[in-house]
Amino acid sequence: MPPWPGTPYPLGATYDGVGTNFALFSEVAEYVELCLVDEEGKEERVRLPEVDGFVHHGYLLGVGPGQRYGYRVHGPYEPGKGLRCNPNKLLIDPYAKAISGDLDWDESLFGYPFGAPDDRNDQDSAGHVPHSLVVSPFFDWADDRPPRTPYNESVIYEAHVKGLTMNHPAVPPRLRGTYAGLAHPAVVEHLKQLGVTAIELMPVHQFITDHGLAEKGLRNYWGYNTIGFFAPHEGYAALPEQAGQVQEFKGMVRALHEADIEVILDVVYNHTAEGNHLGPTLSMRGIDNQAYYRLVEDEQQYYMDYTGTGNSLNVRNPHTLQLIMDSLRYWITEMHVDGFRFDLAATLAREFYDVDRLSTFFDLVQQDPTVSKVKLIAEPWDVGPGGYQVGNFPPLWTEWNGKFRDTVRDFWRGESATLGEFASRITGSSDLYQDDGRRPFASINFVTAHDGFTLQDLVSYNDKHNEANGEDGRDGADDNRSWNCGVEGETEEPEVLALRERQRRNFLATLLLSQGVPMLLHGDEMGRTQQGNNNAYCQDNELSWVDWRLVDEHPDLIDFVGRLAEFRRRHPVFRRRRYFQGKPIRKSDEVADIAWFTPSGEEMKEQNWDDGFGKSVVVFLNGQGIPDLDPRGMPVRDDSFLMAFNAHYEDIETTVPDGEYGAEWAIMIDTAKGEIVEEPGEPDVAAGGKVTLAARSLMVLQRVEREAE
């Protein structure tokens, strides 16, 4: 049956229960052939009959979910002018909601080097390239509702779908490494035990392994090599048949929402897997190269590269912007996700050359009634000139705070002249965000993330050990700001092991008790190691997967993290919605909302902050001075606390401030002993008294309020 005209929107393949509408944008195409692919890889080609506003479209009655398809785009092929249409290439639909199959890196198929020259006589076989899939939009969401956890109450857990679940003993083998495995009650229970309110998933958009890794027998594990902005990665589906990855992903989201856990996606809109001019033609390059990619102005066969991956998306083009915005809306409305973390987000702000804080992309997000309502997290840098933009994103956005990571690492490894900046970082980094009208929760605080050392390796290695990556140690960051506590790598020395345990607790306590939003890295709560590899992007194996046997080896650390998160949840003074002012908030308050002291109990002076050798400080947090209202509109009240930090290698006798700040104090948290007390008992020290703050430790004391007799 010949195709009906159909409609130009929505773009992509849209099944309505009777047939499917196909729509593809290309301003340069002369005409477009839709290729329906059967199970044996044979094609049936149908020319799309209509073009409206550069959208080629047609409707096919009887075509439904599970149908494999692709496009062959007929048009000019002049790479020097940025034109790369090639009907010999079977192309993935940029709007495909599911993609099946991997790229066959066969030299006889692509020629050498791959894609350059892009031989128009070298026709792809449908069996050697990924296929787009028609999907069913129907799913029983039951009474699913987004948790909508406020930022200041959030605890984020960065995780990898496969890495988190591949070795979990309670997850059935057929579900390990999948969306269904992540939704397993045993995994959800672990997240709840840790106090996690949101899981931030490393890329789940369809991605491929590039040729360089394939040649080495390695795979792209992290997934920052996207080829489909609407499609859940097929490799993470237990039952991918008939586009089952879509249904399985939705089931995972529904299960996590039932546990009040939000789902945040790490998304890669800055580049695609097609790479530079030597890369394969898989999708956008062959559809409309000039529209989708930033090209070098005078040499349009080459690509601008702000990402270090070969290309950068052309966010100056309205159709490319539409693609990104349509993708974001799709994941919110159809897949029910709760937010996004934007990889190398500074690239999206490059309308011309420099990063533009008020670029069109951010304007579109700001006014969009759907996208503007979810959590938006920027990785505020890219590899281009001027790409480090921590603190410079618009007010709607939060940011991965790389300065928090670096400063906290420096402080706890004993670096000099870090005290002043450390104080700023643990109180919400007002120097970065307050002048934009943003709140402390604009700072997504982290000490470790997927890119770099795990927490265990941060306290176990001075240098990276990336030999397994096959790049002779050239890859991965050299500035790790780590400290091995005296021995490089694994050891059985009790003193070193004890110090490493304490340092892990120091980092975790600092992270969870700082103002801002804490983000944990999966497995850090149980001492996961990558054996010193700080760039495990290609290690899809035991090196990167979470070893769940560690649960039995480190139950105390897991319990410590969970109790820290619960302590933070109970006490809003550690998760304020507004910045400290350093003065009384109300006339009736006797003391300021925050005050800083030396270990001798004296208030910090300017020269104390400038002391390059200072490694210890005490901070008073006034629970009565919180300028916030609860959901009922009532003033927020909390207890008052002292936080005492000692990054020195020796114990320090610390004097508690005078009675103006509190008469008696009880020790609630002591990282030297690994203890957390839920409720204060009898006071441990009175005003003006002394407590021993152990070497390299953090102590939290709560003011004891006695009822008048």
pLDDT in tens, 676-704: 998 998 999 999 999 999 999 999 999 99
Query: Residue 360 in contact with residue 354, Cβ under 8 Å?
Result: no
Amino acid symbol at 267:
V
Whether residue 104 is predicted with pLDDT greater than 90 in this model: the reply is no
In the numeric block, which tokens belong to residue 565? Answer: 């998160």
Residue 588 is predicted with a pLDDT of 60
Whether residue 709 is predicted with pLDDT greater than 80 in this model: the reply is no
Catalytic pick from 210, 248, 266, 343? 343
Q: List pLDDT tens digits, range 528-544.
A: 999 999 999 999 999 99
Contacting residues for 47 by C-beta, under 8 A, at least 6 apart: 31, 32, 33, 34
CB-CB neighbours of 543 under 10 Å:
16
User: How far is the C-alpha of 8 from the C-alpha of 503, rounded, in Å?
Assistant: 58
Cα R_g (the chain), whole angstroms? 27
Whether residue 115 is predicted with pLDDT greater than 50 in this model: the reply is no
User: How far is the C-alpha of 382 from the C-alpha of 268, rounded, in Å?
Assistant: 12
- CATH number of the 581-703 domain: 2.60.40.1180
Active site residue 30: no
Whether the pTM exceeds 0.85: the reply is yes
Element (H, E) at 700: strand 697-703
Q: List pLDDT tens digits, range 124-141.
A: 656 688 999 999 999 999
How confident is the prediction for the chain on average, in pLDDT? 93
- CATH number of the 12-134 domain: 2.60.40.10
Burial class (CB within 10 angstroms; exposed 0-12, middle 13-18, buried 19+) of 395 = exposed
Catalytic pick from 379, 382, 501, 638? 379
Whether residue 117 is predicted with pLDDT greater than 50 in this model: the reply is no
| Average pLDDT over every residue of 550-560 | 96
Question: Which pLDDT band holds residue 354 (cuts at 50, 70, 90)?
Answer: low
User: How far is the C-alpha of 37 from the C-alpha of 564, rounded, in Å?
Assistant: 54
Query: Residue 135 in contact with residue 98, Cβ under 8 Å?
Result: yes
Worst-scoring range by mean pLDDT, 234-238, 291-295, 358-362, 595-599?
358-362
User: How far is the C-alpha of 301 from the C-alpha of 565, rounded, in Å?
Assistant: 52
Domain 12-134 identical in fold to domain 581-703: yes
Q: Name the pairing type of β-strands 641-646 and 31-37.
A: unpaired
Residue 116 is predicted with a pLDDT of 44
The residues that bridge with 131 in the sheet, in sequence order, are: 100
Question: Which pLDDT band holds residue 119 (cuts at 50, 70, 90)?
Answer: very low
Residue 626 is predicted with a pLDDT of 84
Question: Which pLDDT band holds residue 707 (cuts at 50, 70, 90)?
Answer: low
Whether residue 253 is predicted with pLDDT greater than 60 in this model: the reply is yes
Query: Residue 455 in contact with residue 447, Cβ under 8 Å?
Result: yes
Question: Which pLDDT band holds residue 448 (cuts at 50, 70, 90)?
Answer: very high
Within 13 A of 241's CA, how many CA atoms are on the CB side? 2
Contacting residues for 187 by C-beta, under 8 A, at least 6 apart: 164, 165, 168, 171, 181
Per the listing, tokens 């929760």 go with 441
User: How far is the C-alpha of 289 from the C-alpha of 296, rounded, in Å?
Assistant: 12
Q: How far are the Cα atoms of 56, 157, 170 from residue 529, in angstroms, in the given order?
A: 51, 17, 21
Burial class (CB within 10 angstroms; exposed 0-12, middle 13-18, buried 19+) of 608 = middle
Active site residue 589: no
Annotated domain spans of the chain: 12-134, 581-703
